[in-house]
Amino acid sequence: MDKIKMRKTYHLNLEWKFHLGDEPRAWQKGFDDKAWRTVNLPHDWSVEQPFDKKHSSGTGYLPGGIGFYRKQFFLPKELEGKRVYVTFDGVYNNSMVWCNSYYLGKRPSGYTQFIYDLTDFACFGDEPNIITVKVDHKDIADSRWFTGSGIYRKVTLTVTDHIYIDHYGVFVSVEKTDQKSAILSIQTSVRNRTGESAQIIIRNSVYNAEYELVATAEESVVVQGDEVVTGSQKIKVNEPNLWSVNTPYLYTCKTEIEKEGMVIDEKQTMTGIRTFAFDAKKGFFLNGENMKLKGVCVHHDAGCLGAAVRKKVWRRRLESLKKVGCNAIRMSHNPHMPELYDLCDELGFLVIDEAFDEWEGVKNKWAQGHNVYPPAHYGYYEDFPDWHERDLSTMVLRGRNHPSIILWSIGNEVDYPNDPYCHPNFKTTTGNNDANKPAAERQYDPNKPNAERLVTIAKKLVSIVKKHDQTRPVTAALAFPELSNLTGYADCLDVVGYNYKEHLYEEDHKRYPDRILLGSENGKELEQWLAVKDKEYISAQFLWTGIDFLGETQGWPSHGSEAGILDIAGFEKVSYYFRQSLWSDKPMIKLFASYDEPRSKYYLYNKNLVSSWNFMQDEDVYVTCLTNCKKVELFLNDRSLGSQYLKDDSRSYLIWKVPFEKGELKAIAIDEKGQKYEEFLNTGGAPAGLQMYCTDPQITADGLDMAHVIVEIVDGSGQLVSRAEDLIYISIEGPGQILGLENGNLEDNTPYALRCRRAYNGKLLIYIGSTPESGEIKVKAQARGLKSAEVIISSI
């Protein structure tokens, strides 16, 4: 091992042994696991199983159960005498961990990162180490959305000296900044496990994006044996590059611990220099600039991958959301994978990080369809009393260096009426989606917990957050602010989030003029955006949701929610382009067509709207144009069908009623500067073949990297056949693996484990994973009666 930089980090993500089912002796080091499957992490066993109506609708009709994982690894002899830690980014749920037959502990939460000290139990040299993890997710109806099952995030091993930078021990914050200079405050906690006091130097150096040294500071401190010392330093950065949503510039803070002239530990922390503020009258400011948060809520799954989502999947999704004009993400309703926050830092998204969906009172978990009684009553509430402080603290400590994070949320809709908190002042209450609620559930029930209890809990949670981070405000997403205003729950928060309560903005702003309000969860209709756009004091809208997700389904056969503007495969929906027309600063135009007359405000969510021009001759077709340009002229086979104008916010899209004839439909949009933008729909032919393309033609041969391959059904001229749903078979050759097939159709209950799936809207997405071997990966797609296609991916 390098004697200068003692900290080493190893990934423990390949070649785990897995068994689905209980095995009481599996914790023993000598247990024979040769018959178990070999899997790589991240791994979610739920999506490997078939959909079945007998399972909970809330979690996507997929099973849970009990599973065991075992990992063998070796530690070089030269590491003996060092400290060894293992970090789990997320295990769902009720995990128990052993190392070499020694029990390390448990973690009920499936979303919290946790760390175990292996030092006293580790073996070195030729003696193998065995980590065993038991996952108990037999109570599958424990959530309102799909959770996944297993070790669905990464695992790392860290080796350090006995004097080392403590876990989450570096905290970089911006004390003040302007265009000329910035003052960074850096707190460094160092732990001494030697039993003897030591004189050390704590050194922090800041590097720019080109890794050029910008500034440095150091101090000499004494750390007593078996104690922690925290050093505090100020570093001045001249002419800083400020982090923003448009220019997400990142610096690196290198922290070194020196003892007797030798660096014994080093850690690097990415950070961004920015200031932000919320104002009760003016909204949100980033680096002194007033702006609206154009946000979306996201859950943590990715369809066929379940909860075992890789970084590139989120990169593709975030890049699509960026194009729509989105600049903010709400992590609903739990801490997400660490890589997602890294991407938000890199790509320029502002983040609400959220800790809990329920506190000590159990929420309804819909098992037979959304809002279909009776519900199930499992969940985190059972663990909240003993674990909330550790779980909330971990979220804040893990995330507080991310410039993207601007708000800590302590809860989502915990004030939902009668679910479970109740109050005598509301004899008959209804929440946002209570159409099916039995009469007894709408009445005050003295046997249910009193909503005033929320105040006590909220105050404690806020104090926990502030203990670890006083640079960011605390918020929560309120389902029923009418009740929370009465009890005082809303007054516990620095920023108050309203879910689907746009009609209260004006009234509550007048009643509570010093309250900072934002929309923490919102619908996607025009009037809900105007409620934010036209009110200076409302800083944010967070759409429910950015992306379709598994679970929270209305009922069989659907296994997920279609609330997103991207479908579960990450393909754009009609509502995506509608949102782009409202949010994007760049001129855009998009055409859709349908037989259906636009009579409802929900017209844009009509699945019959297609981006094609294939209908019956002379029948009336409604052409929908989504644009942010002021004027659009429509042409059919070069014949003008007239111009229409977006004069004000009363209209969000343009409609032409057009008798169908084959050929080319063309729209020309003209922006305020007179620039022209064109969009076309062309009459296509019958499906003739498949075409494929890969967004990641070169990947790393590490068993962790991946690529996206998209298959399209096309006609003889290569045009997408948007209504095609042919069954497509996928095969692979070379050092790669098929991670999953996803088409975006939440009513397609073909088991995800199969290597065939129907196209939907003419498309199919394939996730391809690398292996530790390099070489050429050939992916082939075939469908009956259609010309096949293949792509080559280079794994190096």
* Distance, CA of 467 to CA of 322 (rounded, Å): 34
For each of the domains in the chain, give its residue range(s) and CATH number, in order of start.
8-159 (2.60.120.260), 163-271 (2.60.40.10), 279-557 (3.20.20.80), 587-682 (2.60.40.10), 689-795 (2.60.40.10)
pLDDT of residue 2: 43
pLDDT of residue 666: 98
pLDDT of residue 432: 46
> 576 and 769 in contact (C-beta within 8 Å)?
no
Contacts of 310 (CB under 8 A, 6+ apart): 42, 704, 706, 767, 769
* Distance, CA of 221 to CA of 200 (rounded, Å): 6
Tokens of 190: 């160092």
Active site residues: 413, 521
Q: Is the dihedral of CA 28, 29, 31, 36 positive or negative?
A: positive
Q: Within 310-371, where are the H helices?
A: 311-324, 338-347
Treating both helix axes as pointing N-terminal to C-terminal, what angle do 453-468 and 384-399 enclose, rounded to 10 degrees? 30
> 357 and 413 in contact (C-beta within 8 Å)?
yes
pLDDT of residue 647: 77
List the one residue out of 765, 686, 761 whose CA is nearest residue 725. 761
pLDDT of residue 250: 99
Low pLDDT (below 70) residues in the chain: 1-5, 427-436, 649-650
- Cα torsion 102, 108, 114, 118 to 10°: value is 0
**How far, in Å, are 210, 213, 251, 268, 296 from residue 254 at the CA level?**
14, 10, 10, 4, 33
- Name residue, tokens 């929900």: 602
Helix (H, G, I), strand (E, B) or coil at 681: strand
Q: Within 540-604, where are the H helices?
A: 574-583
- Name residue, tokens 């997405």: 765
**How far, in Å, are 212, 368, 598, 610 from residue 606 at the CA level?**
53, 25, 9, 9
For the entire predicted model, the pTM comes to: 0.97
pLDDT of residue 444: 83
- pLDDT tens profile 468-489: 999 999 999 999 999 999 999 9
Q: How many CB atoms lie within 10 A of CB 185?
A: 15
pLDDT of residue 4: 40
